[in-house]
Each structure stands twice: as structure tokens, then as C-alpha cells.
Structure 1
Amino acid sequence: MSNPTMSRARFYFFGFLILLAFDTLAQVSFKYTALNTPFVANLDWLLTVLQSPWLFGCILGYLGAFFTWMSLLQHAPVGPAFAASHLEIVSVMLLSAPLFNERLTLMQLLGAAVIVAGVICLAISETSDAD
């Protein structure tokens, strides 16, 4: 017989991992779209953006994140879920260094650590309240 608490924890872990992947895909795709189609307010620019393969990454990322988020909200407590849903700030920052040659500072890394620690504290607090 399986442990319901472990099944729920596994559901949350993989659910938020999938949400993180979709959110990260959307943000990275937006950045690639912006870099490959510098803004000029005209029809040619709009047509170029609409043909960008990265725009489809944006759409896929947002649709996937929306449906994953809706599924998670049916089961996950709102506080930790809301906090965990913003972990893409950390993943996008970490991916931006190798993908876009952006510089990571010590302050950014410390901020990312604080965000992750906060999400972990909320998750632990929620599981303590549930027991």
C-alpha cells in the first residue's frame, strides 16, 4: 500500500518542477525573440515576430504553465504554491549566464538563495501544519 503523504509530496515536487520548466521556457523564449527581432514599430517587425520559432516557445511555455498551475492549485496549499510558482526568477537568472552571456553577481546569487530558502521554509511550515 502506498503512503498518501509521499504520493502528495511526489505530485507537488514533479508538478512544480514541470511548472518551473514551462515558466523558464516562456521567459527564455521571450528573451530570444527580443534579441532576434529588435523593436521597430512597423508591420514588417510584427510579421517577423509572428514567424519567430521562439514566439512558439513563449506560447507553449505560457499554456503549459497555465494548465500545470491550474492542476496544482486544485491540490496544493496556496501560500507555498504561490511562492514556488516564482522560482523561475532563479532558473532564468541561472540560465541567462550561459545562454545570453549575462553576468551573475554575488548579490544575485545570494538573492536566489534567499528565494529558494523562503520557498523551502513555506513548504516545511505547510507540512508541519498538516501533521
Structure 2
Amino acid sequence: MRARWARRLLFLALPLLGLAYQISAKKTAEAMTGVSFGLGWLLKALVLPWGQALIAMEILAFAVWMVVLSEIKLSEAFPLSALSYALVVVASWTVFHEPASLLQALGGAAILLGVWLMGRSSEAKQ
């Protein structure tokens, strides 16, 4: 079993990589405006810096996910991926200046509370 601090870093990496993936996807999509979907679209996306970052984030997230799953149970690890939903709402508001509704804020808070409760129940079993 890894040191406690290493486990926490891995846990933090999952939602942050999910957030980085979504930001890269949005930036790539913005750059692809007006390009018809097809092989040319794919080739253009692959040469864009944000498109390359998107692929890198996916590969890195896969690697981190495999390490996390080798260390802990799926039922304990999976709720961490939900944190990226709340982070994406914050990023869409701060990075892309998209409006965030009260319901989105409440939903994000509910996700955070749910992840915290699930984490507490896992700690209580140990």
C-alpha cells in the first residue's frame, strides 16, 4: 500500500485530470467551429495543441485510474470521478465566463456532499 500522502495525491489527480480533459475538449471544440465532421475534422483536431492536450489528459487519467484501482476498491474510488462535475461547473463560470445557475451551484454542492458522505462511510468501515 502506498504512503497515505501518495494515495491522496492520486485521489486529487483524478478529478483534476477530468477537469483538464473537459477544458481541453472545450478549447478544441471552439477551434473546430465551422469545420465539417469527417476525416479532415479529426486530422485538424489531432494537430491542435488543445486536441493533443485532450489526448494526453485521457491517457494520463487512464494510467492514474489503473493505479488507483490497484490500490483501493472500485466503490471507494469511483465517487472521486464525480468531483470533476462540480469542478467543471466552476471552470465553465471562471474560465469560459459561462453563466452558472443556482441549480448548478446547488447540484455541485450536492455532489460534493455526496462524495464526502461516501468517503466518510468508507473511513468508518476501516
Q: TM-score, normalised by structure 1?
A: 0.85
Q: Unaligned 5+ residue runs, structure 2?
A: none
CA displacement at 1:46 relative to structure 2: 3.4
1:31 aligns with 2:26: yes
Select the residue among 83, 93, 98 that pairs with 2:94. 98
Q: Unaligned 5+ residue runs, structure 1?
A: none
Select the residue among 16, 19, 22 that pairs with 2:14. 19
Q: TM-score, normalised by structure 2?
A: 0.88
What is the aligned-residue RMSD (CA, Å)?
1.7
CA displacement at 1:41 relative to structure 2: 3.1
Number of the residue aligned with 1:65: 61
List structure 1 segments (4+ residues) > 6 angstroms apart after TM superposition: none
Whether contact under 8 Å (1:22, 1:60) holds in the other structure is: no
% identity of equivalent residues? 31
Higher gyration radius (CA): 1
Cα distance in 1 between the residues matched to 2:77 and 2:38: 40
Cα distance in 2 between the residues matched to 1:52 and 1:41: 15
Letter in 2 for 1:102: E
Whether contact under 8 Å (1:37, 1:45) holds in the other structure is: yes
Q: How does 1:1-131 map to 2 (within 5 A)?
A: 7-8=3-4, 10-38=5-33, 39-130=35-126
- Which range moved further: 92-101 or 63-72? 92-101
